Amino acid sequence: MSKSTFLVYLRLLRIQGAGATAAAAIIPALIMGQHDLFLLSIIVIVGVMCHIFTAVHNEYLDIKVDEKSKDLKEKPLVSGAIPKRYALYISIAVIFMAYALTLVFFFSIYPLIFLTIALFLGGLYNSVGKKVPEFGMILGASCMFFSLYGASTISIQFNNLVYLAAFAIFIHIMFNTTVDGGLKDVDHDFLAGAKTTATRLGVKVINKKIKVTKKFTVYAYGLKFIYIALVLLVGFQKQVNLWGSELYLTQLLCIFLLIGILFTLYRFWHPPDFNRPKLIRIFAVHELASYVVAPIVISPLFGLRNTLILIFLPIVWFFIVNVIVYGKPMQPDV
């Protein structure tokens, strides 16, 4: 396989976001007391496999919609650089690998159950997510169950912190899917008649200007405020007790990130010109701040080493893969 062909396949896999998917399971696993680095690495690999399945299956099903956008003509399946049937082969292969690793290293039926639910919901979202707007929450539910997969590798006696983390992941992914995804794709989704949350709430692009309705604005801010409330609540849990501690620098850093989250959210549709690459850069910064604040809030429980791993693993992964595949760290062409 030539270097150019290899890079095309990496684009199809959307591998730059796999580190964040893996972190969704690592955080609950750490909360439950999983400290074996080898087993944590297995969870990371399973997370990568789940991410690849969801991404490739999505690319496979979205070909006709993506063909409506001039910005997406070079996507591997749209351009024909990779045959459509190969996407199905890859999807099946990574599912098999995820199950095999789980069976070999985690001796319980519960991780298999949570993994199955997560994969099923991910595939369901890909199948109907742009036909039934209300199904935007399905991908969030998929990631929530994958986070419970990570926790269940230790025990199913989940504590409140696990449930809070899982629900925060649900809201985070739901926002990413329905708001970030809805806005960056609204130009061709609208033309193709795709029924996303954004298009259903009246968002459209007219004369290269993005028109965002009050309903969509309320929806976006509502989801984000729920996420912020969950993050703050995590800090009040007795296992963490961030807000009752004397970790003033950590508290200030969290507040700074929360302000950054709200500022970048405001920038989503100000100015209103529809510039897809610029929007993706803003989304990347926003999602980065939204993610980083979570391990920082819970850092009193995790300790410095685990917190740094959680922060830098997905970030470094994201930047390095983007530079390798796209030649730029903050603008994946997805």
CB atoms within 10 A of CB 128: 15
- The helix (H) or strand (E) run that includes residue 211 is strand 209-211
For the ranges 127-136, 186-195, 198-207, 227-236, the lowest mean pLDDT is seen at 186-195
For the ranges 82-86, 201-205, 307-311, the lowest mean pLDDT is seen at 201-205
Sign (positive/negative) of CA torsion 120, 151, 236, 306?
negative
Domains identified in the chain and CATH numbers: 3-326 (1.10.357.140)
DSSP state at residue 328: S
The whole model's pTM is what? 0.86
For 9-63, how does the pLDDT look when each residue is reduced to its tens digit (9 = 90+)? 888 888 888 888 899 999 999 999 988 889 999 999 999 999 999 999 988 887 8
Going by C-alpha positions, the residue among 218, 203, 195 that lies closest to residue 265 is 218
Kindly state the average pLDDT of the residues 128-152.
84
At residue 133, the pLDDT reads 60
Give the count of alpha carbons within 13 A of 162, CB side only: 24
Kindly state the average pLDDT of the residues 176-194.
73
Considering only residues 130 and 209, tell me which one the structure prediction assigns the higher pLDDT.
209
Considering only residues 182 and 33, tell me which one the structure prediction assigns the higher pLDDT.
33
For 274-320, how does the pLDDT look when each residue is reduced to its tens digit (9 = 90+)? 777 777 788 888 988 999 999 999 999 988 888 988 888 888 888 88
- Cβ atoms of 238 and 249 within 8 Å: the answer is no
Rounded to an integer, what distance in angstroms lies between the CA atom of residue 233 and that of residue 242?
10
